Amino acid sequence: MNMFLFRRDQFNLLYNCTNIHIEDVPFENRRHVTEAIITICLCAFYYILYIPCMLSIWKHRENACYKLLLYISITDLAILWLLGFVHGILSLIGAVYCSYPTFIYLAGVAVTAIWAAESVAEITLSINRCISILSPHTEKALFGGWKVYIWLFFTSCYAMYWAFCIKPVLFTGLHFSWFFNPYVGYIEDINGTYENFTHTVHDIGMAIAIPSIYGIFFIAFTIKTRALGGSQEKGISSKQKMMFLQIFVISSLNMVACSIYVYMGYVSINEGLIHVGEFCWFHIHGFPPVIYLTLNKTIRDDCKRMLKGLLEHGLAKKQLKIFFSDTSRVRPSNNNSSTL
């Protein structure tokens, strides 16, 4: 973004489309209709599920865990329309970077920065949940009250660094995915001009950090439980266990997607693996509401109450409409008519 705003000469050198002829790749080779329709439909479905879940998370935001969940939810909703609706529509019309260079570049900046924010917040949430079970006092000291906002502040600063200083991923309909090379399928990046070392290190770090955090937690928890004769495990509430499980599942999605993209960066890949990696990335941000509604009783009960309230409100409006409709059909009789 820094290059786009303040170093236009360098930007035009790297991202201009003067010598690119989009039609060199046939239109049918730039479209993935089935995958695009599935992505758009799933995106709409996930939005419908996510909005009530987010309202529930907002309701319980006094808890540090829910503050982190709220931040992640905001990033998910912010990126989901890009990976869902925009991605799907661009794929339907067979777009590549040079079809809409400015729009796709800015969309790529947003996608890249939001991914950085979400993934770091996910790591922070994993640490929070593990510490809360091992040592609630430590969790309160690190995340209690305003302290959780310090974590979120640095997470946001990291994302802004990505937005302004890191080359973004750019959509291409050729592979139904996002690549750093704007001319993928037209000009090969032989010299590695568009390679993003920071992004690669980030994904490798994510792929290593997530299992490491849970591995260390498991070892520490086992040692502590044995030292206390099993009383530690009995002291964990079912609510804590379910919260830990849902964070573990969501974090595992991040780990799988990062691992696939790291693998894609070092070996010769096929079209199928590219699509798998793309759908994994999409579901990192779209699947959480399904996990919340399945594993989080608090969010599930709140959503049930919201749905019940909407249904009752809709039924009441329908009954009022019928009442006034019936009333309007009744005409008062005129018994005082005069005769001449």
SS (H, E, C) 249-280: HHHHHHHHHHHHHHHHCCCCCCHHHHHHHHHH
What pLDDT shows up at residue 319? 66
What pLDDT shows up at residue 249? 84
**Quick check: is 327 in a domain?**
no
**Quick check: is 218 in a domain?**
yes
**Quick check: is 257 in a domain?**
yes
Closest CA to 292 of 41, 71, 73, 61: 73
pLDDT in tens, the chain (340 residues): 889 999 999 999 999 999 899 999 999 999 999 999 999 999 999 999 999 999 999 999 999 999 999 999 999 999 999 999 999 999 999 999 999 999 999 999 999 999 999 999 999 999 998 898 888 899 999 999 999 999 999 999 999 999 999 999 999 999 999 999 999 989 988 888 998 889 989 988 988 888 888 888 888 888 877 777 655 555 566 767 777 788 888 888 888 888 887 777 666 668 888 888 899 999 999 999 999 999 888 999 999 999 888 888 776 676 667 655 655 555 555 544 443 3
Q: Which long-range contacts (CB under 8 A, 24 or more apart) does 46-49 make?
A: 46/80, 46/84, 46/285, 46/286, 46/287, 46/289, 46/290, 47/77, 47/80, 47/81, 49/289, 49/290, 49/293
| Number of domains observed in the structure of the chain | 1
**Quick check: is 153 in a domain?**
yes
Question: φ, ψ for residue 176 (rounded to 5)?
Answer: 55, 45
What pLDDT shows up at residue 299? 93
Reported pTM: 0.86
What pLDDT shows up at residue 338? 41
Question: φ, ψ for residue 228 (rounded to 5)?
Answer: -95, 10
Q: H helices of the chain, where?
A: 2-6, 8-15, 33-59, 64-81, 87-92, 101-134, 136-143, 147-165, 197-227, 231-234, 238-264, 271-286, 288-295, 297-329
**Quick check: is 323 in a domain?**
no
**Quick check: is 326 in a domain?**
no
Q: Domain range holding 63?
A: 2-8+32-318
**Quick check: is 338 in a domain?**
no
**Quick check: is 27 in a domain?**
no
Does the CA dihedral 78-83-85-90 come out positive or negative?
positive
What pLDDT shows up at residue 313? 77
What pLDDT shows up at residue 295? 87
CATH of the domain at 106: 1.20.1070.10
